[in-house]
Amino acid sequence: MKTFTDKVAAITGAGSGMGRSLALELARRGAHLALSDIDEASVTHTAIACRALGARVTSQRLDVADRDAVFAWARDTAAAHGKINLVFNNAGVSLSVPVATARLEDIEWLMNINFWGVVHGTQAFLPYLTASGDGHIVNTSSLFGIIAMPTQSAYNASKFAVRGFTEALRMELELAGSPVSCTCVHPGGVATNIVTASRIDDSIAAFTGIDAQTHRRRANKLIDVTSADAAARQMLAGVERNARRVLVGPDARRVDKLARLLGASYQAMVVWFYRRSAMSGKRSADAANARTAATDSSTN
């Protein structure tokens, strides 16, 4: 897709983060938008900002885990805009918990959004993208769709699934001679609210040596590598060159090279890192407890 001018793009998770940045960047480039998010107030805010840039915008609350609702949104978008050229299956959530203590309902919650939301969006919009004669599907995987990490089994499963689903879809579209193409996006650390909104189980302390609150605080620092605006521009550049895969951020590119170089051996490196981190966390906790005990002793 060489230009976004007068194209119609549907974006899930458009209320914040990369979804909001994608909407604003597309509006600046002359596209029209159908926006959705589970948070109606946030997506309404994005819609107002995009209209101010001259875009024609529709928006609504949407749970991408609800297949019927996603298909209805696709029909409504086609009716309102007359055509659909792009869909960005961007909505996502995260979960940090060891496999042994993971609750099935938490895994299902994550998979229904991160994987099934992508499937629903792809299948719902594909007929309209085909009818447009110039369509593109952009599915968001992750850095963790390239390598796996302890306590991220469910998230890894969803993002590896998105990668496999999208790569298979790309080949099917090529074999069929379809006017639609697709791209799989692997963001590294992008400054969004995904960690703030994530579910983190207290049992991760056994692996990380730190409690859930500290884990969330550290994770927020780790994702602050690439701004959401920069990520959006990299994603759109990938669509323009019809890339099969887009690695967003320097950390994603480094990890991709590491995975290619080491193969499955990267896992031993991760295990070493986690053991070292757990030991460091335990030393920090022991030191904090010692300081507390000394303070209590001096005041008694």
Q: Which residues are catalytic?
A: 155
Q: Tell me whether residue 150 is exposed, middle or buried, using C-beta atoms within 10 angstroms of its C-beta: 0 to 12, 13 to 18, 19 or more.
A: middle
The tokens of 5 are what?
Answer: 């001018």
